[in-house]
Structures are given as structure tokens and as C-alpha cells.
């Protein structure tokens, strides 16, 4: 039973021979085993701009700039989210971006904070 559930959870578009790994859109980690795959909405990601944007990262580390190639590697296709560091490997649909339990819990619990990113 567990094996069947794990295999079915990665099926793409109900295709029998096409699978996609679950990747957290926030921490870029592979979601494996029986860990529940959560979804984080675009709105919630925007509400957490202060935690996810490049300028906040650089400010936190005393102005040390992130390399431009690294920033490009962690940009998603959504123009509204380009200023955030997110994994482009994460699956996204109408529910939002796939997210691990830990990141989901952290971002959902965070108060809406604005940032000049």
C-alpha cells in the first residue's frame, strides 16, 4: 500500500510513465518518503517577501551581495515573484508551489511583512 502511494504521488498528468520529483519551492529540497507535500500560494509567498528576497538576504549578511548567477538560478518564471529566491524546479499549479512541511509551517506562521525588494 505505502509503495503504491509513493509511486502514484509523483505521476504527472495521470501518465503511467511520466513522473516528477517533489521539490520544495522555498528551500529547494527533495521531498521524500511519507512527508506530506504542501502547497504555498503566490499570495503567501508575496506576504513573506521580507524573508525570501535578495535584498533582505544581503542586508542580513552585512551587505555581502549574492552572485548574479546564483540569483538567476533561484528565479521562477512568474514575474511577480522574480525578486524572491525560489526554486524553479518546484512544481506549481493553481494551488501554488509545492512546499515541504517545515517551510510551509514557517511561512504560514509568519506575519505579513513588507519589504522594499
pLDDT value of residue 2 = 47
| Segment 42-58, tens digit of pLDDT | 999 999 999 999 999 89
What is d(CA 84, CA 71) in angstroms, rounded to the nearest whole number?
9
- CB pairs under 8 A, 24+ apart, for 67-75? 74/28
Residue 115 lies in a domain: no
| Segment 56-74, tens digit of pLDDT | 989 988 989 999 999 999 9
Residue 117 lies in a domain: no
What is the domain extent for residue 57?
Answer: 2-109
**Whole-prediction pTM:** 0.78
Alpha helix segments (H runs only) across 2-41: 2-9
What is d(CA 38, CA 100) in angstroms, rounded to the nearest whole number?
6
What is d(CA 35, CA 112) in angstroms, rounded to the nearest whole number?
27
Cβ-based neighbour number of residue 4 at 10 Å: 8
Task: Return the residue matching grid coordinates 522555498.
Answer: 26
Residue 116 lies in a domain: no
Residue 49 lies in a domain: yes
Q: What is the number of domains present in the chain? A: 1
Amino acid at each position: 500500500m505505502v509503495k503504491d502511494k509513493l509511486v502514484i504521488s509523483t505521476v504527472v498528468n495521470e501518465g503511467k510513465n511520466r513522473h516528477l520529483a517533489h521539490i520544495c519551492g522555498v528551500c529547494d529540497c527533495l521531498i521524500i518518503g511519507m512527508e506530506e507535500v504542501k502547497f504555498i500560494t503566490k499570495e503567501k509567498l508575496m506576504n513573506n517577501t521580507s524573508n525570501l528576497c535578495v535584498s533582505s538576504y544581503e542586508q542580513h549578511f552585512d551587505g555581502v551581495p549574492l552572485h548574479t548567477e546564483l540569483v538567476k538560478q533561484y528565479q521562477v518564471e512568474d514575474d511577480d515573484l522574480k525578486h524572491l529566491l525560489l526554486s524553479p524546479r518546484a512544481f506549481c499549479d493553481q494551488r501554488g508551489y509545492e512546499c515541504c512541511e517545515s517551510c510551509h509551517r514557517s511561512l504560514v506562521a509568519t506575519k505579513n511583512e513588507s519589504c522594499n525588494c
